[in-house]
Amino acid sequence: MAEAAILEQCRLHPQGIPDADLAMEIAHIPVNERASAINALLSSRKIQVYKDGDSLIYREVQKDEAVKFKGLSSEDLLVYQIIQSSGNTGIWTKELKQKSNLPQTQITKIFKVLEARKLIKSVKNVAQQNRKVYMLFELEPSREITGGAWYTEHEYDAEFISVLREQCDKFINSRGKATLDDVWDFVKRAKLSNVDLGKEEVLQIVNTLVYDGKIDAIEVPDPNFKPTAKKGKDIDAGHEGEDYSPAAIPIPSESALTNVPCGLCPVFEECVPGGLISPETCEYMDAWLAQDDP
């Protein structure tokens, strides 16, 4: 009776039902009987449990899932469920070890079993190349892990970004004025990328052109905006977007300061005459001065 009632609630909540909600729905069943029924269903692989924050979630195991999990030990399933709860950001070994309380050697063996069954996969984190995270096999890693469109095989694709910048700059200059939607549409029609670039990615490219002084961003007023005198009103609330146009006063690619090694020196503030870092002992200054020698 208790097992049937729990299964029924799990079927009514295919995404999973929290333990507290389950207890409310079957409050007529004594606590000990409910606990025994849950353990029996877990042992027979009819339901699975995972954590979401501080809450335990119960979910029915579908028939096709039951085939995938057939023969796995309780430790294998524990590791799988912990990885499942991490979503598409994944979980790294140290964190999984803390959550499972399993020894590292056993976790390594479980990884091999689950990877062989194509239940999980390992993915490199672009921010930490020496750290792999594990997630369910069918999931696409989040942009936080892969780096998004600007990374190819976990490497920063500077050439791709350079081509996009150049083409977007040419497009805006040829149009004289363009909106973000115009630039985004151009990128899609020109097929400049092998991956689908969203408006957010195109905005990032356009912003780099603005920061480099190649184009200007011009705020477009919202014709429907009615200013009010209410305290705290955002003074920019009347702008609905920006247009982009060729820079009215382009920033020079070089200046007197950037030509001198001091202009790009990371230890400029520590450089003093007679000091450990000084102009007299600077090899870069010597090389720069030597350029003017006949």
CB atoms within 10 A of CB 197: 19
The total of structural domains in the chain comes to 3
- Domain C-terminal end among 144, 174, 209: 144
Please, which pLDDT band fits residue 155 given cuts at 50, 70 and 90?
A: confident
Q: What is the DSSP annotation of 86-154?
A: TGGG-EEHHHHHHHH---HHHHHHHHHHHHHTTSEEEEEETTEEEEEEEEETTPPPPHHHH-GGGEETT
Copy the structure tokens of residue 153. 């095989």
Do residue 233 and residue 107 come from a single domain?
Answer: no
Inside any domain, residue 48: yes
Dihedral angle sign, alpha carbons of residues 28, 30, 34, 37: negative
Q: How far is the C-alpha of 247 from the C-alpha of 225, rounded, in Å?
A: 28
Do residue 29 and residue 102 come from a single domain?
Answer: yes
Inside any domain, residue 91: yes
Range of the domain at 26: 2-144
Query: In the prediction, which pLDDT does 187 show?
Result: 92
Do residue 123 and residue 25 come from a single domain?
Answer: yes
Inside any domain, residue 38: yes
CATH of the domain at 222: 1.10.10.10
Q: How far is the C-alpha of 153 from the C-alpha of 172, rounded, in Å?
A: 30
Fill in the amino acid letter for 252.
P
Do residue 36 and residue 121 come from a single domain?
Answer: yes
User: How far apart, in Å, are the Cα atoms of 131 and each of 94, 134, 207?
Assistant: 10, 10, 31
Least confident span in 19-23, 26-30, 218-222, 281-285: 218-222
Cβ atoms of 56 and 17 closer than 8 Å: no
Inside any domain, residue 76: yes
Q: What is the mean pLDDT of the chain?
A: 82
Cβ atoms of 123 and 135 closer than 8 Å: yes
Q: What are phi and psi of 57, to 5 degrees?
A: -120, 130
Least confident span in 19-33, 217-231, 265-279: 217-231
Do residue 272 and residue 232 come from a single domain?
Answer: no
Do residue 19 and residue 94 come from a single domain?
Answer: yes
Do residue 26 and residue 135 come from a single domain?
Answer: yes
Do residue 168 and residue 50 come from a single domain?
Answer: no
Do residue 184 and residue 120 come from a single domain?
Answer: no
Do residue 131 and residue 161 come from a single domain?
Answer: no
Half-sphere exposure of 150 (CA within 13 A, CB side): 17
Do residue 161 and residue 139 come from a single domain?
Answer: no
Inside any domain, residue 150: no
Q: How far is the C-alpha of 133 from the C-alpha of 120, rounded, in Å?
A: 10
Inside any domain, residue 149: no
Q: Is residue 198 predicted with pLDDT exceeding 60?
A: yes
User: What is the average pLDDT across 207-226?
Assistant: 78
Query: In the prediction, which pLDDT does 257 show?
Result: 58
Q: What is the dihedral of CA 265, 266, 270, 273, to 10 degrees?
A: -10
Cβ atoms of 10 and 17 closer than 8 Å: yes
Ramachandran assignment for 148, one of left (phi > 0), alpha (psi -120 to 50 degrees), beta (any other): left
Taking only the tens place, the pLDDT of each residue in 124-135 is 877 676 778 999
Cβ atoms of 49 and 57 closer than 8 Å: yes
pTM as predicted: 0.53
Inside any domain, residue 57: yes
Tell me how many helices (H) and strands (E) the chain has.
13, 11
Do residue 159 and residue 209 come from a single domain?
Answer: yes
Inside any domain, residue 160: yes
Q: Is residue 231 predicted with pLDDT exceeding 60?
A: no
